Amino acid sequence: MDPKVLAEVAVEHHDEPAHLRTINKLFVSEAGHSLDRIAPALRGVIDGLRRHMAEEEAELFPILERTLAAQDATAAPEPTGRLNEEMTVNRIVQQFPKTRATFERLFINVPMEGCHCLDEVAWRHGMESKELLETLEEVIASCGCTERQTAEPLEPAAK
C-alpha cells in the first residue's frame, strides 16, 4: 500500500490509547466501582468510538476506493478461457471428463461438491478461484480436450 495512505491511517488512530487508558482505569486500576459509576463512563467511551468509526468511514473508505480503482486500472485484463468461476464442478466434469482427475487430485469431492460453483469450491479448499481456473484450463489444453458434444437425439424407429 502507498506510504502516504498508511501515514493517513496512522494519524486517524491517535486517540485510541486515550480510550484504552479510560477502560483500563475503570476496570483494573480502581477496584470497587459500582455499575452505576462505570456505565456512564463506558457509554462515553463507546460513543467516542462510534464517532471515531463514522469519521474513519467517511475519510478512509474514499481513500481505499481510489487506491483500489487505481490498482484495477493498471491491472492487465484476465484472459478469457472456456471456464469461468460461476460454472459448477459437475458442468465442467460433464463437458471435460479429463478434469475429474484434477478435481480428485485437489481433494475436491465431485459427488458432494458437484453442484457448487468453482469460486466457492476454491474458497473451501483454500485456493484462489483464478488458480483453480488456470489449473483446469491447463488440463483441458494439455489433453486436447474438446467440449463433449451432447448426443444427437435418436430418430424414432420405423414401424
Q: Is the pTM of this model over 0.75?
A: no
One digit per residue, the tens of pLDDT, for the chain of length 159 reads 567 766 665 665 666 677 667 767 666 655 666 667 777 877 887 888 788 788 878 887 888 888 888 877 776 555 557 899 899 999 999 999 999 999 999 999 999 999 999 999 999 999 999 999 999 999 999 887 666 544 444 455 555
Domain spans in the chain, listed from the N-terminal domain onward = 3-74, 89-143
Specify the pLDDT at position 30: 57
- Distance CA(135)–CA(50), nearest Å, equals 45
Please calculate the CA angle 16-21-27 and round it to the nearest 5 degrees: 130
Strands (E) in the chain, as ranges, are none
C-beta separation of 98 from 145 below 8 A:
yes
* pLDDT tens track for 72-100: 777 655 555 789 989 999 999 999 999 99
Rounded distance between C-alpha atoms, residue 14 and residue 8, angstroms: 11
